[in-house]
Amino acid sequence: MVSLKENLRIVADAEALTRTAATVFVDCAQKAIEQRGSCAVALSGGTTPQALYALLARDHEPFRRRVPWAQMHFFWGDERMVPPEHPDSNYGMAYRTLLSKVPVPPANVHRFKPEEAEPHSAARAYEQVLSRYFPLVDAQWPRFDLVLLGMGVDGHTASLFPGSAALYERNRLAVANWVVQLASYRLTLTLPAFNHAATVVFLVSGKDKAPALRAVMAGTGPPERLPAQLIRPTRGALLWLVDRAAAHLLPGL
Ligand code: 6PG
């Protein structure tokens, strides 16, 4: 598999990662809105993006006022099977840190609804949400302006876990993915849905991510063991934004 190193940008620390990601977010938003009048972003869960969401919402920072919030549309790359008010909800995290603090119209927030159905139906319902928004006809894919992703220490991204069935999905936009490692279902967009985005940005911070990052950048080994390796936009930009701690095992650094 071709190395992802040319897509790598290493910054000093978590703070620099957050500020760089905020700049990328604002630039993507402005460009999409200039070109099409709106911007569709797929958010990630996990801990790393929380600082970014908080920074985007902060009053005395320049980012908040540079984002045309009324034209922003928010989606999620993955979700846990919990209600929105649950501490593990990816929507809930984004709501608390960002969406409750900025003037995004509620109609522009397009979340998975795990509380309304069993996992497979919840995934199908989200495919309908995507099909209506973009809008899609047969065999078309959504084109997110920006997808934010993280990477777990095992190389998973969104809820595409090593060895899980969703990695082999070629036709669906979103699926319920049984994750053996967690003994539970997760709702996730699929690889082709991510790979049709205009821009995909990974945020990776901390030394615990270093072994997985080294393996992903080396591009050796079976890709289904490191799902993050399979994110390669077909007609879009890919950025691996990582801090020094996460990058410290990369050869040549
Ligand atoms: C989730 C995520 C997941 C996350 C990684 C990295 O719902 O948990 O979308 O893929 O991005 O696990 O998480 P951290 O940022 O917490 O390391």
Distance of alpha carbon 71 from the chain centroid:
19
Tell the residue nearest (CA) to atom 7 of ligand 1.
45
Radius of gyration of the chain (CA): 17
Name beta bridge partners: 78. 188
Element (H, E) at 72: strand 72-76
The response to whether residue 18 sits with its C-beta less than 6 Å from ligand 1 reads no
Give the Å distance between the CA of 137 and the centre of ligand 1. 31
From 147, 157, 203, the mutation candidate for ligand 1 (largest count of ligand atoms within 8 A of CB) is 157
The response to whether residue 227 sits with its C-beta less than 6 Å from ligand 1 reads no
Angle at 108 between CA 102 and CA 112, to 5 degrees: 110
Count CB-CB contacts under 10 A for residue 2. 7
Q: For residues 70 and 39, what is the distance between their CA atoms, to the nearest angstrom?
A: 10
Q: For residues 73 and 46, what is the distance between their CA atoms, to the nearest angstrom?
A: 20
Q: For residues 28 and 4, what is the distance between their CA atoms, to the nearest angstrom?
A: 21
Q: For residues 180 and 162, what is the distance between their CA atoms, to the nearest angstrom?
A: 10
The response to whether residue 140 sits with its C-beta less than 6 Å from ligand 1 reads no
- Treating both helix axes as pointing N-terminal to C-terminal, what angle do 14-36 and 48-57 enclose, rounded to 10 degrees? 60
The response to whether residue 181 sits with its C-beta less than 6 Å from ligand 1 reads no
Give the Å distance between the CA of 204 and the centre of ligand 1. 10
Q: What is the mean pLDDT of each run of 10 residues along the chain (253 residues)?
A: 86 98 98 97 97 96 96 98 98 98 98 98 98 86 97 98 98 98 98 98 98 93 91 97 98 80
CA dihedral 95, 190, 122, 182 (to 10 degrees): -80
User: Which structure tokens are listed for 164?
Assistant: 């899980």
The response to whether residue 162 sits with its C-beta less than 6 Å from ligand 1 reads no
Handedness of CA 106, 173, 123, 224 (dihedral sign): negative
The response to whether residue 201 sits with its C-beta less than 6 Å from ligand 1 reads no
Tell the residue nearest (CA) to atom 11 of ligand 1.
150
User: Which structure tokens are listed for 237?
Assistant: 């930009």
Judge contact between 67 and 102, C-beta under 8 A.
Answer: yes
Q: For residues 31 and 11, what is the distance between their CA atoms, to the nearest angstrom?
A: 24
Tell the residue nearest (CA) to atom 12 of ligand 1.
152
Which pLDDT value is given to residue 222?
86
Exposure of 216 by Cβ count < 10 A (0-12 exposed, 13-18 middle, 19+ buried)? Answer: buried
Which pLDDT value is given to residue 17?
98
Element (H, E) at 11: strand 8-11
Q: Is the pTM of this model over 0.85?
A: yes
Taking the CA of residue 44 as reference, the ligand 1 atom at the shortest distance is: 9
**For the chain, what is the largest distance between any 2 Cα atoms, rounded to a whole number of angstroms?**
50
Give the Å distance between the CA of 161 and the centre of ligand 1. 11
